[in-house]
Amino acid sequence: MPGIVGIYIAFVTAILSGMLFFFLAVRDTQINSKQINAARLLYHLHVLSLVIAGIYLFYALLTHKYEYYYVYAHSGSELPVGYLISAFWAGQQGTLLLWAILSALIGLILVEKKTLLPPLMVFYLVSQIFLSLFLLLDSPFKSVAPVPSSGSGLNPLLMDPFMVVHPPIIFAGYALLAVPCCYALAALCKKEFRQGAMEALPWAVTGWFFLGAGIIIGGAWAYRVLGWGGYWGWDPVENASLVPWLTAGITVHSLLALRAGLRQIRSSLFFCIITYILVILATVITRSGVIAEFSVHAFTETVISPFLTAFFLFYLLLGLILFARRFQELGHISSDCKITQRNILFLCLTIILSLMALLILIGTLSPLIAGLTGQIAGVNENYYLKTGYLPLLLFFILLAVCSQPRWNLKRSNLRKTLTALVIPIIFVLSVLYLAVLYGLRSWSDLLSLTAITAAFCLAGIDLIKAIKYSRRKAGGKLAHIGLILMFAGILFSSSLQESKIIFLPKDEKVEALDFNFEYQGYFEETGKGGLQVLVENRGDGFLATLPYYFQGERLMREPYIKRYLVRDLYLSPLELQGVSETEQLVIEKGGYLVWKNYRIYFRNLALNKGDQSALMIEAVVDLISFDQVTSIYIALRQVDDGWEPVTATLPGGEEFVPLLIDSNQGVMVFRIEENDCCTEQEIFVMEVKSKPMVGLLLAGSILLMLGTGLAVWRRFTSFPLS
Amino acid sequence: MSKKLVIGLIMIIIFSAYAFYNFQSALSPYSTFTQAASRDGQTQVLAFLIDKENIAYNRQTGSLNFTLQDEEGTLAFVTYRGAKPNNFEHAESVVVIGSFKGNHFEAERLLVKCPSKYEEQVEGTK
């Protein structure tokens, strides 16, 4: 009860508070403190009721109240407390509640502000009204009858510390990015452009930081747990959060440029607004089922889909109309400023990042775009790699160029400018030489490596200068270095990756990629069981346990990662084969195959009505062994629930078992079972990957977040409105 | 102003051409196995796993072999050189992206669709 009542009260108070603020904003007279306080009080009630609903959901999860469908579907009695808490955001309704609570809490700070207060809160509360509406329509407090005795448990792949923190961080980012949008909209309404933009800056930086951290944590989780050896799959869900991260990057840089006195007012306000619209679009993409067919995250359409679209359209139309109406006026402000080198650099950044965002968005929505022309199609990941290359290359060139505060290209100073470039050029050339020596051959990789190393060197010199002379600016420079290292890691780990699928018979050594592997058997640890493999590399050895266990009926497999200084050894368990269960063989009509002492010819096949009018697919196979030819007849007979094999015995006593006979294509799949399988042996199939320089990617991500984090800290501690 | 406009327009045209070209070349249509067999180049087929007991890696070729049936009922033997996505055996349906090589469909990419509604899921890439 408290949960659903809380959501109802939150919805009503959001509407009332929003209406009151709207009334105050429209009247535009002296702010009557009594009315403001009433609106504030209503807002506080809104926050309180959402928080109560949230606490109640935690309580229901912790005390296993399975009468609620959400608790039943996402938790289980044997789950440890940490994962019970994270079950809060394991499902759609819970994540929406989390989003609503986080943004309500952020609003507590906004509601006490003086600048632009009434319109700001109107725009902010529209978002709260929509979020509470979603919770009303599709509540996490729906009950089930009869009450199940136990929960269905949490997907074990989600039982990872990274997955515990990933959703709250992403949603904190989403919630924070609503603030710059509302400030920009309010500023456009009240024509207090600069002030609104400056108020938006700390929120934009913080939101950008959280969204970036969330994306990186998500990628790290995929790498650690999923076992396909990658961190980014260009899935619509992943892309949907990357696009607003890119535009938030533009927002932050535009606002910083504006603060430094450059003419960035139009782009600042525009990207403040568009970023939140893209955040909502991300939610539409992932929750409304528009591209469900094309994502590995199979989201289905729910009752909230039309309202989600309304949520998106509201901010989109409002933003566009307001921006269009003030467009000329914004231009007048800009024309007071001079155009400098910095200005052009910021313009380039805006163009390049918007290009990237747009290309990713086009790719993500490709099923819809192709649908317009009547095709059922979607782009594959090659689209992103191919289209992304050019903007990314330009981006690194820009990163290299922007490391200098000003490029003096006058003839009198040219000599000095060039001498400053001697060290970077030597550095780039030596890295290129090493890369070619190491095996990097493709021109596109070498070109991007050149851009990245040049950017690294120049940005590095810049960072050192910043630490020496103006430590306050070091955050941004550190983030740049981090970003460069990240991409260097991505470039190396993907282009120099080696992988091999190996078959490990038990207790036998197998060599692959400079390592020796020996499968030693199943090993039960607490909770998850695993397969133990002895890994040796030049005398050094260690035991790796690869998680391989059943969750209910599902077989779960997780990788084992050994991190070395220069590379990661990534072991991914694939399957466990028993040799007695012999492998499948495929043969074409008219073709032959050698199996042990037999040469097997697939002579003919026929489709027959057999006895009791059951359909039979018959095949004739000739066997040659010890210079003797034998013909055997095998068949598949249709029975109620499929096909039943009619086997034949070979001269040596083995059973020939047909598994599939395709009469259209003339192909047969079969198995030969030996009768004397006394030597039953396990074979463990494993993928071995060597991924160089993943450490660089890791270090880069940490530096990027550290740098952005420093910038966030600076925005909130020293806040001079210049 | 007009000079700015011209530069802007040229950039937009170049960008659109760039995006359109890449979009077209990377667009792989959804089709059935019958269509995929008659077509050169990459296609993606949404199909259902059948004969689940016989999904196995072949020791000689090192590839994963399995059988799929598409919505029209056509069977195809599929090979995939790469790691089997987590939960593969319990997938409702899978999407294979690749082309026919002789009598079998060679998948370059394998996507798994899971029955559960809101779960981070698994993907296999080469």
Render pLDDT for A234-252 as a digit per residue (tens, 0 to 9).
888 889 999 999 999 999 9
Nearest to B125 among A92, A221, A230 (CB): A230
Boundary-marking domain end, from A323, A344, A363: A363
Residue that the structure tokens 């820009």 belong to:
A398
Question: How far is CA B89 from each of CA A555, A586, B47, rounded to the nearest angstrom?
Answer: 8, 21, 13
User: Inter-chain contact A687–B82, Cβ cutoff 8 Å?
Assistant: yes
Q: Mutual orientation of helices A161-190 and A117-137 as an angle, nearest 10°?
A: 140
User: Inter-chain contact B56–A383, Cβ cutoff 8 Å?
Assistant: no
Answer yes or no: do A144 and A165 share one domain: no
Does residue B98 fall inside a structural domain?
A: yes
- A-chain residues near B46 (CB < 8 A): 293
A423 with A457: CB under 8 angstroms?
yes
Does residue B109 fall inside a structural domain?
A: yes
In our burial notation (b when 16+ CB lie closer than 10 A, e otherwise), range A613-635 reads eeebbbbebebebeeeeeebebb
Condensed to tens digits (0 to 9), the pLDDT of residues A610-641 reads: 556 667 777 888 877 767 788 888 888 777 76
Residue that the structure tokens 């430094």 belong to:
A260
Within an 8 Å CB–CB cutoff, is residue A586 touching chain B?
yes
What total of structural domains would you count in chain B? 1
Q: Flag whether pLDDT at A185 surpasses 80.
A: yes
Within an 8 Å CB–CB cutoff, is residue A155 touching chain B?
yes
Question: How far is CA A583 from each of CA A500, A518, A550, rounded to the nearest angstrom?
Answer: 20, 22, 23
**Tokens encoding A68:** 């609620």
Burial class (CB in 10 A: 0-12, 13-18, 19+), B120: buried
User: Inter-chain contact B28–A378, Cβ cutoff 8 Å?
Assistant: yes
Does residue A188 fall inside a structural domain?
A: yes
- For A664, list phi and psi in degrees, rounded to 5: -70, -45
Tell me the average pLDDT across A681-710.
90
Within an 8 Å CB–CB cutoff, is residue A575 touching chain B?
yes
DSSP string covering A328-362, please? HHHHHHHTTSPP-HHHHHHHHHHHHHHHHHHHHHH
Half-sphere exposure at residue A349, Cβ-oriented, CA atoms within 13 angstroms: 27
**Tokens encoding B82:** 């790469």
User: Inter-chain contact B113–A233, Cβ cutoff 8 Å?
Assistant: no
Does residue A469 fall inside a structural domain?
A: no
Which of A665, A668, A671, A681 to mutate to test binding with chain B, by most B CBs within 10 Å of its CB?
A665
Answer yes or no: do A295 and A201 share one domain: yes
DSSP state of B91: -
Question: How far is CA A615 from each of CA A225, A342, A438, A465, rounded to the nearest angstrom?
Answer: 46, 78, 61, 82
Nearest residue on chain B to A670, alpha-carbon basis: B54
Q: Flag whether pLDDT at A171 surpasses 90.
A: yes
Answer yes or no: do A85 and A151 share one domain: yes
CA distance B2 to chain A (A): 16
Share of chain A above pLDDT 70, in %: 92
Strand partners, A518: A509, A534
Q: Residues 6 or more apart from A548 whose CB is under 8 A from it?
A: A522, A529, A530, A531, A555, A556, A557, A558, A573, A576
- A-chain residues near B110 (CB < 8 A): none
Boundary-marking domain end, from A95, A126, A159: A159
Burial class (CB in 10 A: 0-12, 13-18, 19+), A719: exposed
Condensed to tens digits (0 to 9), the pLDDT of residues A594-612 reads: 777 778 888 887 777 655 6
Does residue B13 fall inside a structural domain?
A: no
The kind and range of the H/E element at A364 are helix A341-364
User: What domain range includes position B80?
Assistant: 28-124
Query: In 10 A of CB A470, how many CB atoms?
Result: 10
Within an 8 Å CB–CB cutoff, is residue A437 touching chain B?
no
**Tokens encoding A140:** 């996490």
Condensed to tens digits (0 to 9), the pLDDT of residues A281-313 reads: 998 887 766 665 555 454 556 778 889 999 999
Q: Residues 6 or more apart from A381 whose CB is under 8 A from it?
A: A233, A234, B109, B125
Answer yes or no: do A154 and A165 share one domain: no
User: Inter-chain contact A366–B23, Cβ cutoff 8 Å?
Assistant: yes
User: Inter-chain contact A554–B85, Cβ cutoff 8 Å?
Assistant: no
Nearest residue on chain B to A661, alpha-carbon basis: B75
A487 with A396: CB under 8 angstroms?
yes
Residues 298-317 in A contacting B (C-alpha not used; CB under 8 Å): 298-300
Residue that the structure tokens 């899921």 belong to:
B121
Nearest to A296 among B25, B30, B111 (CB): B111
Q: Name the nearest CA neighbour of A398 among A445, A475, A458.
A: A458
- A-chain residues near B121 (CB < 8 A): 296-298
Answer yes or no: do A147 and A174 share one domain: no
Burial class (CB in 10 A: 0-12, 13-18, 19+), A152: middle
DSSP state of A225: I
Answer yes or no: do A288 and A358 share one domain: yes
Does residue B59 fall inside a structural domain?
A: yes
In our burial notation (b when 16+ CB lie closer than 10 A, e otherwise), range B7-35 reads eeeeeeeebeebbeebbeebbbbbbbbee
Answer yes or no: do A148 and A268 share one domain: no
Answer yes or no: do A126 and A148 share one domain: yes
**Cis previous bond, A146, omega within 30:** yes
Evaluated on CA atoms A435, A220, A574, B80, the torsion sign reads negative
A679 with A579: CB under 8 angstroms?
yes
Answer yes or no: do A216 and A336 share one domain: yes
Condensed to tens digits (0 to 9), the pLDDT of residues A79-130 reads: 888 889 889 998 888 999 999 999 999 999 999 888 888 899 999 999 999 9
User: Inter-chain contact B51–A296, Cβ cutoff 8 Å?
Assistant: no
Q: Residue B117: what pLDDT?
A: 37
Q: Name the nearest CA neighbour of B87 among B62, B57, B118, B115.
A: B115
Condensed to tens digits (0 to 9), the pLDDT of residues A632-684 reads: 888 887 777 677 788 888 877 778 888 878 777 778 888 787 765 545 678 88
- For A583, list phi and psi in degrees, rounded to 5: -75, 160
Does residue B41 fall inside a structural domain?
A: yes
Does residue B12 fall inside a structural domain?
A: no
Query: If you average pLDDT over every residue of chain A, what do you get?
Result: 85
**Tokens encoding A289:** 């089922």
Question: How far is CA A335 from each of CA A722, B3, B100, rounded to the nearest angstrom?
Answer: 19, 17, 61
Nearest residue on chain A to B80, alpha-carbon basis: A501
User: Inter-chain contact B123–A381, Cβ cutoff 8 Å?
Assistant: no
More confident residue, A179 or B109: A179
**Tokens encoding A63:** 């005390």
Q: Residue A611: what pLDDT?
A: 59
Answer yes or no: do A194 and A67 share one domain: no
Tell me the average pLDDT across A343-361.
91
Q: Residue A722: what pLDDT?
A: 35
User: What domain range includes position A349?
Assistant: 161-363
Answer yes or no: do A224 and A82 share one domain: no
Q: What is the pLDDT confidence band of residue A30, given thresholds at 50, 70 and 90?
A: low
Q: Residues 6 or more apart from A91 whose CB is under 8 A from it?
A: A70, A73, A74, A140, B117, B118
Q: Residue A293: what pLDDT?
A: 55
A207 with A173: CB under 8 angstroms?
yes
**Tokens encoding A691:** 């991924």
What total of structural domains would you count in chain A? 4
Nearest to A298 among B51, B109, B113 (CB): B113
B98 with A202: CB under 8 angstroms?
no
Tell me the average pLDDT across A362-367.
86
- A-chain residues near B124 (CB < 8 A): 228
Domain CATH for B120: 2.40.50.140
Q: What is the pLDDT confidence band of residue A75, given thresholds at 50, 70 and 90?
A: confident
Answer yes or no: do A334 and A238 share one domain: yes
More confident residue, A132 or A619: A132
Question: How far is CA A156 from each of CA A152, A161, A231, rounded to the nearest angstrom?
Answer: 11, 12, 19
Q: Name the nearest CA neighbour of B116 among A556, A92, A88.
A: A92
Tell me the average pLDDT across A383-404.
88
CA distance A297 to chain B (A): 6
Residues 659-688 in A contacting B (C-alpha not used; CB under 8 Å): 659-660, 662, 664-667, 669, 671, 683, 685, 687
User: Inter-chain contact A381–B58, Cβ cutoff 8 Å?
Assistant: no
CA distance B33 to chain A (A): 12
Does residue A680 fall inside a structural domain?
A: no
Does residue B8 fall inside a structural domain?
A: no
> Cα separation of B25 and A226, whole Å?
29
CA distance A689 to chain B (A): 10
Within an 8 Å CB–CB cutoff, is residue A701 touching chain B?
no
